[in-house]
Amino acid sequence: MMKITEDTINNLKNTIKNSKNMTILCHHNADPDAIGSALSMQYLVNLLNKNCNVRVVCDSISALSKSILKEYELSKLVEVEEYPKLGDTVIFVDTSNLNQLKIFEEELSNKNLIIIDHHKKTSLYDKCNLKIINENSTSTCEIVSYIFKYMNIFPPKYIRELLLCGIVYDTKHLKKGKGNTFEIIGWLIKKINYQKILYLLSTESDISKRIAHLKSCSRMDIKMVDDYIVSLSHASSYESSCAKTIVSIGADIAFVVAVKSKNREIRVSARCRPSVSKKISLAYLMEKIGKMLNGEGGGHAEAAGLNAHYEKGRKKEDIIKEVLNICYNVFKEEIKKDNSIKKND
């Protein structure tokens, strides 16, 4: 159980019951945690005080949050506005810093300020009369869920789904989840299909990117070097995303070439699994191949690329073939070199 004292809960209840106008603010580019906690707090206020006018305001909403709101037809509930007129009570959710808001700071004086957050405390914390902060919580939605639980209010399904979206989003699909997280999920999830939450949080990349991924897969050449599966392919754009995708579906190392006739540019993107980068850094490999092509390469051990130019009049297909051959041969040489060093040791 997360610790929120009875005093805090009563204090919050009384503040809500005594407010006439309330503004719930969340940080710019509001993510699902901000949106979920803001709309849930709005629901709570409406439930406890029918006479209170409560608005949810932020200056911008993330693309993912927008798609969730659209799914529930709740887009109108989150008002996008800069420097809004504030109610007599202001609740900051998932927001630790005034820099994350577009409001007139002077407007905050003489207002009842409440903060509900899971970030590190800042000066905003000192300004607030009521603070419900837990840095150990993995999301603000987790804290808000516990508020409901302590008030003995079981929220309707759509509110619990929004809270789950915030929790799952902020925990990176529960990878960062803690005991309290799973405990509150058990409480929230009644009659909810977890797959729906995952679906709501899945971002479909735009169609041109997905086509590039699919084409780079259909065009790929698969070769073996020792036990490594090497994939060689090409794309007209999104080459790094294509290489990443190819590794995610099974290749140990992927080279994806893009040849741009516009400025006679060659771009290569390489990605690999840790089993490969332990032997050879792709940064080193791309730097080496970049030089061979009179260009420049570099990056990280598992993600690297190069840029070069080609001579006028050459055919795209020939360049792609040649560059992929070089990538394959240099990789093979380096692996063989590494093996012979090990033999001599």
For Mn ion, give the closer residue by CB, 101 or 256: 101
Q: Pick the piece of the chain touching Mn ion (CB under 5 A) from 88-96, 188-196, 208-216, 266-274.
A: 88-96
User: Rounded to the nearest whole angstrom, what is the least distance from the CB of residue 262 to Mn ion in the complex?
Assistant: 42
Non-local CB neighbours of 273 within 8 Å, separated by 6+ positions: 247, 252, 253, 302
117: contact with Mn ion by CB under 5 A = no
d(CA 114, CA 127): 9
For Mn ion, give the closer residue by CB, 131 or 279: 131
170: contact with Mn ion by CB under 5 A = yes
For Mn ion, give the closer residue by CB, 104 or 182: 182
User: Rounded to the nearest whole angstrom, what is the least distance from the CB of residue 83 to Mn ion in the complex?
Assistant: 23
Q: Are strands 89-93 and 21-26 parallel, antiparallel or unpaired?
A: parallel
* SS3 of residue 320 by DSSP: helix
For Mn ion, give the closer residue by CB, 197 or 327: 197
d(CA 122, CA 71): 34
161: contact with Mn ion by CB under 5 A = no
* SS3 of residue 111 by DSSP: coil
Binding-site residue total for Mn ion (CB under 5 A)?
4
Q: Pick the piece of the chain touching Mn ion (CB under 5 A) from 57-65, 169-177, 230-238, 334-342.
A: 169-177
For Mn ion, give the closer residue by CB, 37 or 277: 37
User: Rounded to the nearest whole angstrom, what is the least distance from the CB of residue 177 to Mn ion in the complex?
Assistant: 14
> Residue 258 class from Cβ within 10 Å (0-12 exposed, 13-18 middle, 19+ buried)?
buried
Q: Considering only CA atoms, which of 185, 193, 134, 186 is closest in space to residue 163?
A: 185
User: Rounded to the nearest whole angstrom, what is the least distance from the CB of residue 243 to Mn ion in the complex?
Assistant: 31
Q: Are strands 296-299 and 303-309 parallel, antiparallel or unpaired?
A: antiparallel
Can you say how many angstroms the Cα of residue 45 is from the centroid of all Cα atoms in its chain?
Answer: 29
- List the interface residues with Mn ion, window 123-142 (CB under 5 A): 140
- Other Cβ atoms less than 10 A from the Cβ of 263: the count is 6
33: contact with Mn ion by CB under 5 A = yes
For Mn ion, give the closer residue by CB, 89 or 140: 140
Which of 26, 49, 94, 246 lies at the binding interface for Mn ion (CB under 5 A)?
Answer: 94
Q: Which residues bind Mn ion (CB under 5 A)?
A: 33, 94, 140, 170
